[in-house]
Amino acid sequence: MPLTPSEFMPAFERYKRDRGLPRLKLGNSIGFGGFSTVFELTDGKQPLVLKVISSVGTITSPEKAIQYVHSERDTMLKCRGCEYIMPLLDYYEYPVDPQANHYLFFFVMPRLTVLTEYIKSKGVSEKLIADLTRDVCRALAYCEKNRILHRDIKHSNIYVRYGEHNELTFILGDFGVARDLPTLNGPVTGIGSFLAPEIHMGQPLYGRYNSDLYSLGMTLFFLTTEDYAAEAFKKNPPAEFSPTLRRVMSRCVEPDPAKRYQHAAEIIDELDGVSVSSVRRAENPESLVPMCKCALIDKDPIKALELAASGHAAGSAPCSRLYAYTLFSLHRSDREKTADAMRILQHLILNDDNTARCLYALIGLDVTPPGAPDAADYLGLMEYSADNGCPIAQYYYGRWLFDGQMGLPADEQRGMDLLIRSVKQNFPPALLYLKTRLENHDDRFQFDQDTVDVLNTELNGFNKTKIAEAIVMAI
């Protein structure tokens, strides 16, 4: 749960006194994750943000939380010399109850525009993608030089800084799960939508740092195509992009790390001097998909609905799915709008759209009383969608089977099989579900040691509050 100002105000007042900053003012909450809550902050001179982390109340132990915080602090301090990495302006610890390892931690940073917010208003262009790639690679080259693996490269962890003449610099932030290691010969695990296959599977990295380049490539595909599918290496970058930029995107998402770029500096060299177009791609309805998803992730459903409606009207199937999903989410109690959403999905199902089939079943089950005749039909659609590879359906139907929910007879073996298939498609809620079962010592689960090791790792700040975000990413 996010922290409220009342929960840390004594610590904030103490911080102001210790730093001699009586004019420092706390603003509104602007976001939270699995471990932290972020607030607006101003010292009367520049816009700042305050990230507050508590060592208690997270999905891990206080001791482990303290270890994560200190690691993030040390990593950011080590990166102070790079202009393409979010600077840590100040750090502060407040002992709430040291005997219980209860501390509050303050990270003060400049307030920059999140990339997703910038894209919502400006759209995506080839120039933006090329400049973004070049700047993030400069950050990653600096990280590699200092033996740091970021492990969470994605659009929401990239920021935009404006120069004196409104020129843009892209800044890499959020080092909460970065690894600061002298060698990377052992497995490094975690979860996330954009993780490299070798990290997702807990395989040794053999000293390579190019798993971050895979995540960057996945981010570029998410921003420029209608999908972020785990098999992005099989997709084609936008045809209007330069051959060099298309080659960079494709090579970044090679599933075999030996076939990827080995170092971020190689990408910088390849992109330097490339001539790119500054034409926005908003005219292409498929380019509205990432903009819509960014709006939903940033909790701006009205903007998302507007973007999805434009793409839906232009015949984009992904936009139609997002339009139906957002329409229902905004007007859950409105029967007419719910019926409109289901009609849109039904039309897509006629064209064998498996994700639409899953969403149609989820909405139908949400508005249908348990035990009603229609419920069995919706469950049948969900099962079909799960069997045909939809990770959202595999997650939900696997859970229902395993626990004997939604009127289904319990089938632990089949339920587990579907959950593991969802995990293998990088769908984080499935891994969170399995991790929770492990932590609760559910003796129905028989995990091998490799799986236990993966489940015992931190979840990159992922918690139940982000399940909706993961669904949006997978639509």
**Cβ proximity of 158 and 170 under 8 Å:** yes
Predicted confidence band of residue 115 (pLDDT cuts 50, 70, 90): very high
**Same structural domain for residues 318 and 223?**
no
CA-to-CA separations, 289 to 37, 141, 300, 334, in angstroms, rounded: 28, 30, 14, 25
pLDDT at 273 > cutoff 60: yes
Which residues, 6 or more positions from 418, have their beta carbon under 8 angstroms from its beta carbon? 386, 394, 395, 397, 398, 401
66's tokens: 């303290």
Q: Last residue of a domain, which of 66, 94, 110?
A: 110
Q: What is the CATH number of the domain that holds 161?
A: 1.10.510.10
Instruction: State the residue range of the domain holding 432.
Output: 289-474
Note the pLDDT of residue 279.
45
- Look-up: residue for tokens 């610890």? 93
Q: Last residue of a domain, which of 83, 110, 137?
A: 110
Q: Last residue of a domain, which of 110, 140, 169?
A: 110
- Look-up: residue for tokens 């696997």? 398
Q: What is the pTM of this model?
A: 0.72
Higher confidence at residue 451 or residue 385? 385
Predicted confidence band of residue 141 (pLDDT cuts 50, 70, 90): very high
pLDDT at 22 > cutoff 70: yes
**Mean per-residue pLDDT, 127-146:** 94
Which tens digit of pLDDT belongs to each residue from 143-173? Answer: 999 999 998 898 889 999 988 777 899 999 9
Domain tally, the chain: 3
**Cβ proximity of 285 and 311 under 8 Å:** yes
pLDDT at 184 > cutoff 60: no
Note the pLDDT of residue 357.
95
pLDDT at 463 > cutoff 70: no
**Mean per-residue pLDDT, 360-376:** 88
Measured N-to-C along each axis, helices 288-297 and 301-313 cross at an angle, to the nearest 10 degrees, of 160
**Same structural domain for residues 335 and 314?**
yes
**Same structural domain for residues 348 and 215?**
no
**Same structural domain for residues 18 and 85?**
yes
Higher confidence at residue 175 or residue 458? 175
CA-to-CA separations, 374 to 213, 357, 409, in angstroms, rounded: 47, 15, 17
**Same structural domain for residues 41 and 131?**
no
pLDDT at 473 > cutoff 60: yes
**Same structural domain for residues 313 and 194?**
no
Note the pLDDT of residue 277.
55
- Asked if residue 464 is part of any domain, the answer here is yes
- Asked if residue 27 is part of any domain, the answer here is yes
Which residues, 6 or more positions from 20, have their beta carbon under 8 angstroms from its beta carbon? none
- Asked if residue 278 is part of any domain, the answer here is no
Higher confidence at residue 231 or residue 120? 120
Over pLDDT 90: what percentage of the chain? 44
Note the pLDDT of residue 418.
93
**Same structural domain for residues 137 and 254?**
yes
**Same structural domain for residues 341 and 209?**
no
The sheet carrying 102-110 orders its strands as: 25-32, 36-42, 47-54, 102-110, 90-97
Note the pLDDT of residue 462.
60
* 288-300 per-residue burial string, b: 16 or more CB within 10 A, e: under 16: bbbbbbbbbbbeb
**Same structural domain for residues 358 and 221?**
no
Q: What is the CATH number of the domain that holds 34?
A: 3.30.200.20
Over pLDDT 70: what percentage of the chain? 86
**Same structural domain for residues 95 and 214?**
no
Note the pLDDT of residue 167.
85
Which tens digit of pLDDT belongs to each residue from 308-343? Answer: 998 898 888 999 999 999 999 999 889 999 999 999
Which residues, 6 or more positions from 158, have their beta carbon under 8 angstroms from its beta carbon? 114, 115, 132, 136, 170, 171, 172, 173, 219
